[in-house]
């Protein structure tokens, strides 16, 4: 439970900072700027670097694990047959890779 309490304290700080703003990339940049200081351009570079690192790792087929948040990974989706809802015709859907996210226990507990 110590992990949940730690994240709960940090979440309260962010809740006060964001109030009723929608959480998006720009809001993350503002939070980094408030916390670290510097310019907003530098804060945006930090946020972009984090996202770029996650995407680059996933492109290589790797896994990104962030303690207390979750695990980003890539899942292979097999080829399959689907049905066009307009015509009813069967369509072949090619195999592909899709991003996947598994939430950590601490995140699940914080959201409850």
DSSP line for the chain? -HHHHHHHHHHHHHHHHHTT---SHHHHHHHHHHHH-S-HHHHHHHHHHHHHHHHHHHHTT--EEETTTEEEEEEEE--EEEE-TTT--EEEE--EEEEEEEE-HHHHHHH-
Q: What is the pLDDT of residue 74?
A: 97
What is the span of the domain harbouring residue 54? 2-111
pLDDT per residue over 43-93, tens digit each? Answer: 999 999 999 999 999 999 999 999 999 999 999 999 999 999 999 999 999
pTM above 0.95, yes or no: no
What's the structural domain count of the chain?
1
CATH number where 82 lies: 4.10.520.10
């Amino acid at each position: 439970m110590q992990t949940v309490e730690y994240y709960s304290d940090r979440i309260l700080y962010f809740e006060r900072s964001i109030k009723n703003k929608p959480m998006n990339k720009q809001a993350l940049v503002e939070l980094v700027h408030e916390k670290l200081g510097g310019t907003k351009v530098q804060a945006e570079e930090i946020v972009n670097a984090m996202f770029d690192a996650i995407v680059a790792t996933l492109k290589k087929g790797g896994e990104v694990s962030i303690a207390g948040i979750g695990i980003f990974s890539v899942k292979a989706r097999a080829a399959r047959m689907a049905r066009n809802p307009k015509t009813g015709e069967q369509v072949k859907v090619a195999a592909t890779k899709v991003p996947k996210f598994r939430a950590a226990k601490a995140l699940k507990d914080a959201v409850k």
